[in-house]
């Protein structure tokens, strides 16, 4: 199964656009990992034409909070319907399992001992100061962390986080048996 893991950084934040709708933000960088090449790639808006081939030629997308953030935001740029491909949102799977919203950094640090290298606010500040390479590096690191968390969950059927009330390492049980089931769809993404 061909997969891509992707993450988005923005040029602005919700208070800048006076909206809570991710589609009202502007993308600075999209980074992705492609299972076919086992490589990481980063794209600025002017490079999106080269990026779409990865989305068209994959069987599934993997994100962390993609249902709420990445997919709606990227859709406003996409020349095809992103919903036509199988999408696995690890954040949504965690919430479905335990009824709580747990951040990527908490899960990654507790489960794998790795952390994110910055945060979205820092990425916006880098954009404003023209430090695009820092954004690319940070976004690619987020993709790597998401990929590693996904692969751990797929293999072990669980993840972990530190419960903020008890301060104890807590298991997140996950049923990953259907995560990589290829949907029976001969429909490919074509440009509008």
pLDDT tops 80 at residue 184: no
pLDDT tens digits for range 15-70 = 999 999 999 999 999 999 999 999 999 999 999 999 999 999 999 999 999 999 99
Residue that has been written with the tokens 């656009």 in this structure: 17
Residue 144 sits in a domain whose CATH number is 3.30.420.10
Q: Is residue 181 a part of any domain in this protein?
A: no
Rounded to whole angstroms, the Cα distance separating 151 from 135 reads 24
- pLDDT value of residue 90: 98
Q: Is residue 73 a part of any domain in this protein?
A: yes
Q: Which of the four pLDDT bands, split at 50, 70 and 90, describes residue 183?
A: low
Q: Is residue 113 a part of any domain in this protein?
A: yes
Give the closest residue to 87 by CA, choosing from 49, 55, 111, 116.
55
Q: pTM score, two decimals?
A: 0.91
Q: Is residue 184 a part of any domain in this protein?
A: no
- pLDDT value of residue 118: 75
- pLDDT value of residue 116: 74
Domain hosting 42: range is 3-173
Structurally, how many domains does the chain consist of?
A: 1
pLDDT tens digits for range 126-179 = 999 999 999 999 999 999 999 999 999 999 999 999 998 999 999 999 999 999
Count CA atoms closer than 13 A to 99's CA, side-chain side: 0
Rounded to whole angstroms, the Cα distance separating 21 from 60 reads 24
Q: Tell me how far the alpha carbon of residue 40 is from its chain's centroid.
A: 13
Q: Is residue 59 a part of any domain in this protein?
A: yes
Q: Is residue 185 a part of any domain in this protein?
A: no
Give the closest residue to 67 by CA, choosing from 97, 105, 95.
95
């Amino acid at each position: 199964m061909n997969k891509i893991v992707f993450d988005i950084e923005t040029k602005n934040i919700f208070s800048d656009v006076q909206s809570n709708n991710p589609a009202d933000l502007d993308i600075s960088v999209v980074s992705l990992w492609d299972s076919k090449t086992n490589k990481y790639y980063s794209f600025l808006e002017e490079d999106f034409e080269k990026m779409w081939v990865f989305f068209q030629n994959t069987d599934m997308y993997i994100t962390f909070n993609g249902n709420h953030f990445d997919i709606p935001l990227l859709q406003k740029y996409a020349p095809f319907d992103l919903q036509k491909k199988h999408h696995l949102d690890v954040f949504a799977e965690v919430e479905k399992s335990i009824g709580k919203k747990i951040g990527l950094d908490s899960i990654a640090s507790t489960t794998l001992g790795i952390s994110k290298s910055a945060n979205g606010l820092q990425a916006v500040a880098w954009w404003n100061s023209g430090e695009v390479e820092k954004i690319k590096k940070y976004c690619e690191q987020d993709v790597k962390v998401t990929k590693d968390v996904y692969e751990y969950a797929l293999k072990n059927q669980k993840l972990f986080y530190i419960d903020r009330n008890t301060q104890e390492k807590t298991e997140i049980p996950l049923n990953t048996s259907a995560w990589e089931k290829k949907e029976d769809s001969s429909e490919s993404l074509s440009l509008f």
